[in-house]
Amino acid sequence: MMLLSRNGLALVTAAVALIGGCASAAPPTASRTESVATASHQARSASPAGSVSTARPVQSTAPVWTDLEFPGDGAGLASVSDLILTDDPWLAVGSLRANLCRDAAVWTASPGEGWVLDTNVMRFGLDHELPCSDNDLDQRILAVERFGEGYAALGTEGPGPVRSTLWLSDDGSSWGVYDGADRGLDGVAYGLSERDGLLVAAGTALDGAVPRVWWSMDGERWQGADLPGVDAPATAAMGITATSDGFVAVGSRDLEGDTDPVVWTSPDGRAWQRAQEQGLAEPGDQNIFDVVEAATGLMAVGTSALDDDWDAAVWTSETGRRWQRVPHDEAVLGGSGIVTMSSVASDGSTLIAVGGEGVPRTTTKVGSSRPRIWTSADGLSWDSIALDEALGSEPVIGLYRVFVLGDRLLLLGSRGSGAPDTIQDDVSVLWEGSLDAVLGPSP
């Protein structure tokens, strides 16, 4: 979910990258930045939300984590944008980065085992030793969704003007690639979700000026419409999630130098209404990166900045049409660096969010992050703990997504690919741990 039904890294890295190259940022896409937002695929990866009880407090800074790195097989560094973890095998999509080139990529893995790169999806193939300019190749998959017995994936392709690209597969291993404009995708989709057999994507027009949604019953032919209520030229929809009442799309707008979240809701994926501005528009900059449906309503997480003080932020809503910001708690949501909540999920009784406190990039290495986990029973009061070295000795660049699968907790992020003092790039990693080891036994 790029926003995040279960779908969407695009939103997270897209917005975080705008914060100024902090630790959680990912390389830019052709028009904005590559998700890792979208919002999230909570619907297809997280356990259904049940009645809220007392949250299980985070009890361990060093549970046993298994790290599953995404291989590049010598063709480049893996940059994962979206995941489906409810199928066997698991499926991941994104791109391989080599110098300034990117090629679309798909990985599969048996649950809990190592990822395997599917080289059949690589459209051109990269030679890591050849010089590569930004005019040679830029193809990436931004979002993927299960529908029926098959899969649909959306992304972009260059060089030249950015073009929307559609991938379709009956089995997750053999893929067809199509020009998005020929199929009705007249824009760039950053988030993708499914409900009752309807695929719905959220993104922008190709010029990036108008937020749009598209829908399809078969994945092959799409219809689109502009999202309503746009009152600023720089407004974008970056993620979408399916809920029990329909769909929620999130994005951002730049107005008079400030960035504010924008939320839209729809009962059917076709007719949309913008949420009230009150509760979302505040002084400074705010971004929503993910949304999850819990027993008490919708919970959104992201970041807020005022006078260059960046803190994690949480919003709540019963229906998605009116939102309220949770009062700031500096001890839990603040820090000395850029603090971001990137993704949120639920295990039925406890809300679990991930993110980190970022250290900005330098000219010689990417930024690193102190990864964090937050927990809450109601979305209003939160506990937090830094994972520090729990995810390994190599520097963590950022945590972008959290998934709850039964008794397991999975974290998608990236870590540095070189020596700590000369880190030049990062590679995507999925960390897997025991939910009880992190949160304590269920009450």
| pLDDT tens per residue across span 66-107 | 888 899 877 778 999 999 998 889 999 999 887 777 889 999
Query: Could you tell me the pLDDT band of residue 255, with boundaries at 50, 70 and 90?
Result: confident
What is the layout of strands, in order, in the sheet containing 297-306?
285-294, 297-306, 309-317, 324-325
Query: What confidence tens digit (pLDDT) does each residue in 332-366 have?
Result: 999 888 899 999 999 888 999 999 987 654 444 44
Q: What is the model's pLDDT at position 103?
A: 87
53 has a pLDDT exceeding 50:
no
Query: Cα separation of 408 and 389, whole Å?
Result: 20
| pLDDT the model gives residue 351 | 94
Strands 408-416 and 187-195: unpaired
Strand segments (E) across 99-231: 101-109, 116-117, 138-147, 150-158, 163-169, 175-179, 187-195, 198-205, 211-216, 223-226
> What is the three-class DSSP state of 295?
coil
C-alpha angle 408-409-413 in degrees, rounded to nearest 5: 140
Instruction: Give me the phi and psi of 57, to 5 degrees please.
Output: -70, 145
Residue 29, pLDDT above cutoff 50 = no
| Mean pLDDT score, 254-265 | 89
Considering the domain delimited by 10-439, tell me its CATH architecture.
7 Propeller (2.130)
* pTM for the predicted model, two decimal places: 0.84
Q: Are 400 and 10 in contact (CB under 8 A)?
A: no
CB 396 within 8 A of CB 369: yes
CA distance 140 to 160: 14
Q: Which of 59-63, 146-150, 192-196 has the lowest mean pLDDT?
A: 59-63
User: Residue 38: what pLDDT?
Assistant: 37
Residues 6+ apart with CB under 8 A from 182: none
Distance CA 126, CA 122 (A): 9
pLDDT score of 268 more than 50: yes
pLDDT at 311: 94
Give domain limits for the chain.
10-439
Q: How far is CA 409 from CA 25, 34, 44, 128, in A?
A: 23, 24, 14, 34
Distance of CA 156 to CAs 45, 261, 343, 436, Å?
25, 24, 24, 39
User: Which of 306 and 23 is assigned the larger pLDDT?
Assistant: 306
Q: Are the C-beta atoms of residues 116 and 71 closer than 8 Å to each other?
A: yes
Evaluate whether 371 touches 387 at the Cβ level (below 8 Å). yes
Quickly state the pLDDT bin for 214 (edges 50, 70, 90).
very high
pLDDT of 148 strictly over 70: yes
- Quick one: pLDDT at residue 179? 92
